[in-house]
């Protein structure tokens, strides 16, 4: 009997590990080199350390990216993000950390796919 229980437990673990979690996080920093708006409401950002702009939220609809560790970004929060990033862009401030998460993140900030859809979980711009 114990052998059958052990086999069942092993089979359950094998199935569990056959489907790994793909959520990942990536931290980038630098100045806001580019801030894009793409119809019908996508907001895109490129820091100086990134190779291309990525989509971070939508001004019209809730933004949920597969693998997002922090859930949905609402249009209201997207407008706040856009305003803060625009201010950082205009002032030349350095974003010390911008944390992205999604199922399909690259290994480094300079190897994003063009038009990649990401979740912007956190960013900080110091005083000054």
pLDDT, block means (10 residues), the chain with 128 residues: 48 37 83 96 98 98 93 96 96 96 95 95 86
How far is C-alpha 112 from the chain's CA centre? 11
Q: Are 94 and 128 in contact (CB under 8 A)?
A: no
Q: Tell whether omega for the bond before 40 is within 30 degrees of 0, i.e. cis.
A: yes
> Which pLDDT score, from 0 to 100, does residue 70 have?
83
Q: Residue 126: its pLDDT value, please?
A: 84
| Residue 8 neighbours by CB under 8 Å, 6+ apart | none
The whole model's pTM is what? Answer: 0.80
CA-based torsion, 46, 49, 50, 51: positive or negative = positive
| In the chain, where the domains are located | 22-124
């Amino acid at each position: 009997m114990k052998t059958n229980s052990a086999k069942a437990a092993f089979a359950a673990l094998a199935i569990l590990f056959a489907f790994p979690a793909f959520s990942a996080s990536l931290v980038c920093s630098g100045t806001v080199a580019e801030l894009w708006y793409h119809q019908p409401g996508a907001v895109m950002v490129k820091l100086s350390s990134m190779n291309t702009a990525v989509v971070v939220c939508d001004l019209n609809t809730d933004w949920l990216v597969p693998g997002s560790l922090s859930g949905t970004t609402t249009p209201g929060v997207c407008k706040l993000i856009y305003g803060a990033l625009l201010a950082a862009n205009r002032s030349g401030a350095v974003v010390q950390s911008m944390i992205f998460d999604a199922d399909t993140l690259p290994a480094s900030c300079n190897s994003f796919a063009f038009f990649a859809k990401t979740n912007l979980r956190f960013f900080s711009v110091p005083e000054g």
